[in-house]
Amino acid sequence: MISTTISDFRKDIKLYLDKVSKDFETLVINRGKDSGVVVLSLEEYNSLKSTEYELSSKANEARLDASAAKLRTGGFFEKDLIDL
């Protein structure tokens, strides 16, 4: 995570946006006492929204937890794909 002021952000906007989009940095722009803005890449934002959706219901959360537990304990199998 990187942080800057609004003045520095204005001066080097391309540099900061490149860091966010290319280096997957999260940028915090301070705007005064207890005020700020967070800038994320679109990919990171979409990932957060997807996670939020997946955990939006207790049923989804339980299913994901069960799948993760099964994977950790070796409760999975491999299957060869067929050529078409």
* pLDDT higher than threshold 90 for residue 43: yes
CB atoms within 10 A of CB 9: 18
pLDDT tens digits for range 61-83: 898 889 889 989 988 778 888 88
The pLDDT tens digits for 1-20 are 999 999 999 999 999 999 99
- Sketch the domain layout of the chain as residue ranges: 2-40, 43-72
pLDDT value at 45 more than 90: yes
Give the CATH class of 2-40.
alpha beta
Q: Are strands 36-39 and 2-5 parallel, antiparallel or unpaired?
A: unpaired
- Here the tokens at position 79 are 């299957």
- Answer yes or no: is pLDDT of 54 > 80: yes
Residue 84 has pLDDT above 80, yes or no: no
Q: Report the C-alpha gap between 70 and 72 in whole angstroms.
A: 6
